[in-house]
Structure 1
Amino acid sequence: MKEYLIQLPTLTPPKEKEPLILYLSAAEVAVGAVLMVERENIQTPIYYISKMLTGLETRYSMIEKLVLALLHATRRLRRYFSGHVIIVLTNYHLGQILSKPDVAGRMAKWAIELGGYNILYRPRPAIKGVWTLHTDGASNDDGVGAGLRLFSPDDHELTYSIRLEFRSTNNEAEYEAFLAGLQLALKMGARNLEANVDSKLVAEQVNGHYDAKGEAMALYLEQAQALISQFQTFMVNHINRSENKHADALSKLAATSFKHLAKEVRIEVLSNPSVSLKQVNIIEIGNPSWMSPIILYLQHGKLLEEKAKARKIQNKAVNYEMADDILYRKSFMGPLLRCVDKTDVQYLIREIHGGLCGIHVGPRMVVAKIMSAGYYCPGMHVDAIEILRKCTACQRHAPKMLRLKNPLVPVTSAWPFQQWGIDLVGPFPDAPGAVKFIIVVVDYFTKWVEAKALASTTAMVIRKFI
């Protein structure tokens, strides 16, 4: 125990009215602060303080946690805050946020309490030898882009705008920007890197707090970890989008139009994703599908021996074309649709109908969504009907239909007593008078009903009733 105490840094008392420096830190379940004094360009600690977060405090944002750490420091170190100028070094704009007139809630209460002290907020200087990276990805109707800013330890800045010429989601665009920034930092010779991203998903997955669900996210995370392993020290932080405006502007610039800005901004175009995603359909040798004859004809000009089938393939092939050894179907006034086999289209039907974001719609809408996603297979509608009929959720939660299964057949009559309907009902248990049958006559025009109880159903009795 004595050895550990000896290794602890020595605390020093401040001089009267000497300005002090305060460093704030915030984690998922705790916040802390270090009060220091700088003498001859050497910072010496004065006091350490920390606080465990409980209940609602663990769900505070990063800004709220840092302000809470500052507030806790003022309450515990009131003597230092009352007699000294405190300089808070942070990369977050705490001073601007606390001085806003529209701040409300607990932040407003904290701002009033902190206003009684002489606190200055200044940006935190870069750590010696550490590069700083800011990345952002954007995906919209115009395109997909990524922006990144790399700062060297001597504050030299490199800015890049990257246009992604392939379809990707917002999370994939964020990962593309992050991977591009890591590759640029390695090319510039950086060995210590601090990355700031405004995507909480990317930051938490890299830090190991979130699981990478889905094949694409797992591959992107694997690629990022491979690049991170090449740095001596690495740290990734999640920041708000308001603190990443320059990288966000670069990503949106690349996602829209950049021809007129090619000389002012460094722009790179990526035609393929950074990770090699598995294809949806794989045509295995020895396992032919409906696409095999068409591919064989388009690539090698070979047809089947039967003339009828060969002519049918020739007629079908007009609507298809090959690109990078992948079969696509032409669509009217639309993009090319990637052809998939029966197994893959059944998987797409199940995912779109009842998957993670399934909407449990009818077969027509499911097929429309498959085609809008860029896939095609003949007979999709029949497969969708067959699969959707077996959906347990649809059968369990379907509305009850009050309509008759068979259509009603109306019986019309032009005038009264033109058409009659006679029915015999029984036998029933004997009633008084030994009657056990009922004869009913209905006029189809007026719906007039006549009924009589009978003891027997002989011809004489029926004729007498009529």
Structure 2
Amino acid sequence: MNKNLRQTDQPLRQILTKPEVSSRMTKWAVELAEHDIGYRSRTAIKAQALADFLVEGASLAMTGQDSPPSGERSGEPWILFVDGASSKEGSGAGLLLISPTGEELTYALRFDFPASNTEAGLADSPPDGYNRGQSQERSQLVVLQVRGEYEAKEDVMKKYLAKVREVIALFDIFEIERVSISQNKRADALSKLASSSFAHLSKEVLVEVVKQKSIDQVQVLAIDSSATWMTSLMNFLNSGVLPGDKTEAYRLQFRAAKYAYAGGTLYRRSYLSPWLKCMTPEEGDYVLREVHEGLCAAHVGSRVLAKKCLLLGYYWPSVFQDAAALVQKCRACQVHAPLCHQPARKMVPIHSPWPFAQWGIDLLDPFPRAPGRYEYLEVAIDYFTKWMEAEPLATISGRQFRISSGET
């Protein structure tokens, strides 16, 4: 039998030779007893060997990162086949982009504005993001206008040419040439599909609806200058600005003692818990919906929902009102909420100790005049036995009520 040596840094020899140390190792000790196994302590790894391993791994990673893609190494350009189509049903353009590795990307543009064949060919500018590009166009007029050999006379075409030249300037190398119909048949098919049978295009072809001409787009910068309930507090705590009204200034100073401004953020002070981050009502609505209807939605009541938002560290003045409004609009809460059987008003109990001790009297009128000039009816009911008495009256007066009550 050959002797097996095992190098380990764990105390297996002491455990397996003394099974009483651990009852779970007894079975393993019996199974391994038939083999001649020797144990030897593992020697320490030299620091230089570990350093060499890390250096080799880092060099391999650096080599993989520095290697350029196959398309860039070859220096071959991206080829774009373009064709435009216009009909009574609409206008569009077809694009076929071929990468240096041979991958083909098809795309179709549907124009939601009137355009001729020439405009459709120029409206889809060459895509940016590549260093080398080559565009294949079937229209000779478009090719010669882009090259500068022909001059555009219409104002719309001049604008399109200016737009195309702006995109061409982003390329290191760009070429455009005219091709025959047979070479451009796939782009031609895409353009006809986009311009004629737009509703029946295959799902494999991406179609984008262009609602506005690219030359008419105006750059707009959104400016948000809306003031919130935090604006006055932040201005006062940051730069000491107070309103012109003395009453409002006094109220602002009184309110500012409960807040703190740090790092461009307003906080609500608290002496028994961490400071609460102040938010706008719009941001608070998002927090309420996440707590109420989010991943861990509990659909709790309005007061508990507001308390949860405060415990999470958020605050805005209308947190309780917004929570109540959200719960009232939540359909799940309204459908699955328990029904409230309590009366709308507090009920006043009437206790009658014995029969005929307490009566209820009411007057019914008017009735058709009866013999004896009776037109009214006095009704009395006992609260204990529910016994009822009725007495006709000719006139309504306190004396008549006393007389009738004495008779009943």
In which range does the TM-score fall when normalised by the shorter chain?
0.3 to 0.5
| TM score, norm. by length of structure 1 | 0.35
From the CA coordinates, give the structure whose radius of gyration is larger.
Answer: 2
